[in-house]
Amino acid sequence: MTTEQPTDFIRNIIKEDLRTGKNGGAVVTRFPPEPNGYLHIGHAKSICLNFGLAQEFNSRCHLRFDDTNPEKESDEYKNSIKTDVHWLGFDWGPHLYHASDYFEQLYEYALQFIRMGKAYVCSLSAEEMRTTRGTLSEPGQNSPYRDRTVEENLDLFQRMRAREFPDGAHVLRAKIDMASGNVNLRDPVIYRIRHVEHHQTGNTWCIYPMYDYTHCVSDALEGITHSLCTLEFEDHRPLYDWCLETLKTPCHPQQIEFARLEFTYTVTSKRRLKQLVEENWVSGWADPRMPTIQGIRKRGFPPSAIRKFCEMIGVSKKKTTIEMSVLEGCVRDELNDTTPRVLSVLDPLKVVLLNFPEGKTEILQAPNHPQNPEFGKRDLVLTREIYIEREDFMEDPPKDYFRLRPGGEVRLRYGYVMRCDKVIRDPQTGVITELHCEYDPATLGVNPVGRKVKGVVQWVSIEHSFTTPLRMYDRLFTVPEPASREKEGVPFTQFFNSDSLRVQEAHVESSLRQATPESRFQFERHGYFCCTDERTPDGNPIFNKIVSLRDGWK
């Protein structure tokens, strides 16, 4: 991974603009979410791009809530968006705006359109408007209201604002070209009547501006220089430019489109994420299986790994569908360097060290990070009875098995060498219930004289460890593109992976009792885990699995 400044077509455009002095040396970007849901990993790409540019060019990035659909928006969503942008490591400073801050200005500009003969009040029903819009191959038909006079339009539009008409009675349309090859230019609606309360403006308005019209004007009013959006807005750019050219705004930002970020085995559309929440497929927007920022945060992904990932995938116009394993790789790389190691046993087999006195405890010192002494050391408590992993013992192992076998020796991680002398079974089932071993007190940190011990096993003291649930996650869906068959009527939820959450009890070394929420650890051999803010009834911290130690699921 490179630490050099990234380059891409957007940065090239900006550098060229700076060279030619196009915007007087300014670079102003914005991240404009609609507060109608929680942010997801796709948004992270846009956040890292827009705020990243501001950092790189020593300029600013605005956070603007694109709040033109009051029915679907809420303060809950706004707050979560602010929390998520901060968590990702970015800050808008004093530049927090709402499209609704500009409602009055947008209204004034709409009056201006009308006076210029560039907008008219249309009284067709939504259905009539649809049928007269034409198709990709056929032009649309002019509305019978297209030639209303300026006076009539001014009068009707003002009365729309004055609450004289019900929802849907009229709309304001830009007067462009019903025969345009670009459907977005066929007299698009720029205002509609909605008698609903708005989370910012209350009941001040009953007419609300449409997204396309609002967006370009908001960008211009804020002095945005480069308005970056995803590719589906490419066909809307002529309308963006038409509005600003017609209004002759002093600032005319350049809209530049880039490819959305999509992942396999998950969904990243707010509508679908909302459906997963509302139909209780998951526990909420912050369920650690969700690709929302809050979900991956709960899962334990560090924000720096997400930033690195966004830098690595870069920005282009080519559709990017990425395997979740690529993001996980970034997370793993980061956690390998930054997390302390701890010992745990998931599938316990009891070991009794027959020559270790009952009731005795011995403190062993273990480094918290094998490659990095700065992480310091911690105490491990050794007692007569310990657990090891069941898979670390085999009665009749193949030749290349280096772990424990009857009569064989292994080293307890950070401890002594022990030899297995006896295998105890359940007389009924024949299942091995415990091993009787002897440890060699002369082997702490040194090899036993004359014997080679290759195997090292994890262990925990039975008395000085605690049991706690680990939440293990798998892909959210069983197929790479769960929504690809929606058109045939196959709902994406049909491919929900019912094994995507598995809870497993683990025995964990006692030092982890003090773990604080959002702290991360490598459970040696088992993967990376994040401490949740939840506790078991006896007060033990509960952990989420972040990723496995190597690529691959489970």
Instruction: Name the residue with tokens 């996980």.
Output: 328
C-beta of 67 vs 509, nearer to ligand ATP = 67
**Least Cβ distance, residue 41 to ligand ATP (angstroms):** 8
The binding track of 297-336 with respect to ligand ATP, each residue x by CB under 6 A or -, is ----------------------------------------
Q: Which residues contact 403 (CB under 8 A, 6 or more apart)?
A: 391, 392, 393, 394, 397, 410, 455, 457
Question: Which one of residues 14, 32, 153, 417 is an interface residue with ligand ATP (CB under 6 A)?
Answer: 32
Pick out residues in 491-530 that bind ligand ATP (CB under 6 A): none
The binding track of 189-228 with respect to ligand ATP, each residue x by CB under 6 A or -, is ----------------------------------------
**Cα–Cα distance between 431 and 15 in angstroms, integer?**
70
**Least Cβ distance, residue 476 to ligand ATP (angstroms):** 15
Q: Among 363, 343, 297, which Cα is nearest to 508's?
A: 343
Residue 45 is a binding residue for ligand ATP (CB under 6 A): yes
Known catalytic residue: 270? yes
Q: Are strands 377-382 and 362-367 parallel, antiparallel or unpaired?
A: antiparallel
C-beta of 32 vs 253, nearer to ligand ATP = 32
Question: Which one of residues 46, 80, 153, 339 is an interface residue with ligand ATP (CB under 6 A)?
Answer: 46
Radius of gyration for the alpha carbons in the chain, expressed in angstroms and rounded: 31
User: 204: how many CB neighbours lie within 10 A of its CB?
Assistant: 12
Q: Among 380, 378, 408, which Cα is nearest to 394's?
A: 408
C-beta of 33 vs 52, nearer to ligand ATP = 33
- Whether 261 contacts 42, CB under 8 Å: yes
Question: Which one of residues 269, 467, 493, 548 is an interface residue with ligand ATP (CB under 6 A)?
Answer: 269
Residue of 260, 297, 384, 475 with catalytic role: 260
Residue of 173, 270, 299, 307 with catalytic role: 270
Q: Would you state the structure tokens that stand for residue 364, as one six-digit string?
A: 């062993």
Question: Which one of residues 27, 43, 106, 253 is an interface residue with ligand ATP (CB under 6 A)?
Answer: 43
HEC secondary structure over 417-457: EEEEEEEEECCCCCCEEEEEEEEEHHHCCCCCCCCCCCCEE
Task: Single out the segment in contact with ligand ATP by CB under 6 A; choices: 119-127, 265-273, 357-365, 372-380.
Answer: 265-273
Instruction: Give the SS3 label for residue 197.
Output: coil
Question: Which one of residues 8, 17, 34, 333 is an interface residue with ligand ATP (CB under 6 A)?
Answer: 34
Known catalytic residue: 260? yes
Q: Among 21, 28, 16, which Cα is nearest to 224's?
A: 28
**Cα–Cα distance between 275 and 269 in angstroms, integer?**
10
Residue of 34, 128, 362, 481 with catalytic role: 34
Question: Which one of residues 48, 229, 305, 346 is an interface residue with ligand ATP (CB under 6 A)?
Answer: 229
* CA distances, 281 to each of 40, 470, 498 (Å): 17, 20, 9
C-beta of 74 vs 230, nearer to ligand ATP = 230
Task: Single out the segment in contact with ligand ATP by CB under 6 A; choices: 2-10, 190-198, 260-268, 324-332.
Answer: 260-268
Known catalytic residue: 385? no
User: 489: how many CB neighbours lie within 10 A of its CB?
Assistant: 6
Pick out residues in 107-136 that bind ligand ATP (CB under 6 A): none
Positions touching ligand ATP (CB under 6 A) are: 32-34, 42-43, 45-46, 229-230, 260-261, 268-270
Active site residues: 34, 260, 270
